[in-house]
Every structure is written in structure tokens, then in C-alpha cells.
Amino acid sequence: MNKKYSLFYILIVLFVVALATTFISAYLTDEKKQSTESTIGEVRVTEVDVYYMNGTTKVPYSLVTIGSGATLQTKEGVYDVDIYDESNPYHIKNLHVDIYVKANVKAYLRVAINDQIVRKVTNYQNIVNETAIRHDPIEFNFNSANWHKQVHNNDARSTYYYYKTKLVDATSAPIKVSFIIPKDVFSYLVDGHQVYINENYSLQLGFRYEVVQADFGGPEHNWGLQTPPWGGNW
């Protein structure tokens, strides 16, 4: 009798295990069926091309350097821009910036500008000292039909420029996006008042850029923006 009951209980246990296994397998199968397919692609900035146009001649950029001789150091990604001599090919009014983006899926681009006016003075030991000058953010020229300028949190230093068109490669070549374009007149202000500029002053310029996938919540999750700053939907 005990053997019969033991066999009976064993059969029940095996049946329950089989049923549970079937249920779990079916559940996992259902979960897979419910998942949506998403395209994960490559989105990145491949180059920031900073240059000047001297007539029809393209003049390459100059990076900021510190020290001299054996102590010479270069500030990578920080561009030295003349703001004093308008006849200088490196003057700010001749400045161009193009951004090249690699995106094999639809993507959005935004850029922040870091600009700092500095005064350079050479001391008696022939050492160049830099002093950062407090100033309002410089107003650069850009195509407002393509770009939207947005100040976040009422902080002028938290300003981003959003390229309003989705980017995606038509070919394998990176997409060229024109950003800063020349203008003739610049103002250098502190609290709305003009800063006196002489030959000791220059501008140090850098860029922060971000590319996110346009679909599947790219701007929402990465930038915290549920809708585009210029209106409409992503």
C-alpha cells in the first residue's frame, strides 16, 4: 500500500514539474513575442572643422598653446581666435565651424559653445601669463532656419544649439553640418557694457557636442526633453 501511495505521489510531483516547465517555457516565449524590434546604430561626431576664410583661401585653425620651448603645451580642442586685428586671417569675423556626423540611423545633434576672453601679459622673466576676463557669452552667427538656440534654466552658460533636422547617412560618408558662419561685427560685453580690447586680448574657443538616436526615446532619455525646444514632436 505504501508503495502504491509513494508511486502516486511521485507521479503527481512529476506532473506538476512538467506543467510548471511548460508554463515557464510558454511565458518566456510570450515575452519574446511581445518585445519590439529596435535598430541600434552608430551615431557620433567624427570631426569638428574649425577654419577661417581669407577671401577664397581656407586658413586652418590654431590651437591655444601655453609656455615655450621645452615647456610648450597645447590645449587640445581649444582654438585660439583673434578678436583685435580685423586684418588678421585668424580674426573672429572670418570664423567658420562645420561639424561632421556619422549616423546610420536617424539622429539629432546639439552643440554648446565654450568661449573665454583672456588677456596675455609677458612678465620680466619672459613668461606669458593668462588672465580670464569675465564677459557675457559671445553672440556667434548661425543659420536660424537650421539651428535653434535654447538657453536652459535661465543660465546663459547653459546654452545649446539644436540642429532641427534629423540626420542620417545617405552614403557611407559623414554628413557635413554647417554651424558657425562669419559676421562682420562682434560685441564683447560685461553685464551689457563693452569690454576694451587691445592686442593682448584673444578668445579661447571650444565646443561640446552630443549626438543621440532620434527614435526610441533618444532625446527624452539623454537630454531630458520630451519635445523639441523649437516645438512639435521629435
Task: Print pLDDT tens along the chain (234 aa).
Answer: 555 555 555 555 555 444 444 333 333 333 333 344 445 678 999 999 999 998 889 999 989 987 777 777 888 999 999 999 999 999 999 999 999 999 999 999 999 999 999 999 988 877 888 999 999 999 999 999 999 999 988 777 789 999 999 999 878 889 999 999 999 999 999 988 999 999 999 999 999 999 999 999 999 999 999 999 999 999
Question: What's the gap between Cα 117 and its chain centre?
Answer: 22
Q: List, in sequence order, every beta strand (DSSP E) within 143-222.
A: 147-151, 159-167, 175-178, 180-181, 189-190, 193-194, 201-213
| 211 and 113 assigned to the same domain | yes
Is the residue at 175 inside a domain? Answer: yes
Cα separation, 218 vs 221, in Å, equals: 6
One domain for residues 151 and 167:
yes
Tell whether 14 is covered by a domain.
Answer: yes
Total domain count, the chain = 2
| Stated pTM of the model | 0.79
Claim to verify: residue 105 and residue 26 sit in the same structural domain: no
Instruction: Clarify whether residues 12 and 72 are in a common domain.
Output: no
CB atoms within 10 A of CB 36: 5
In a domain, 49, yes or no: yes
Task: Say yes or no: 29 and 98 in one domain.
Answer: no
Q: Could you tell me if residue 196 is inside a domain?
A: yes
Q: Are residues 29 and 56 in the same domain?
A: no
Count other C-beta atoms under 10 Å from residue 200's C-beta. Answer: 13
Residues 84 and 185 reside in one and the same domain = yes
Q: Which domain holds residue 3?
A: 1-35
Residue 234 in domain: no
115 in a domain, yes or no?
yes
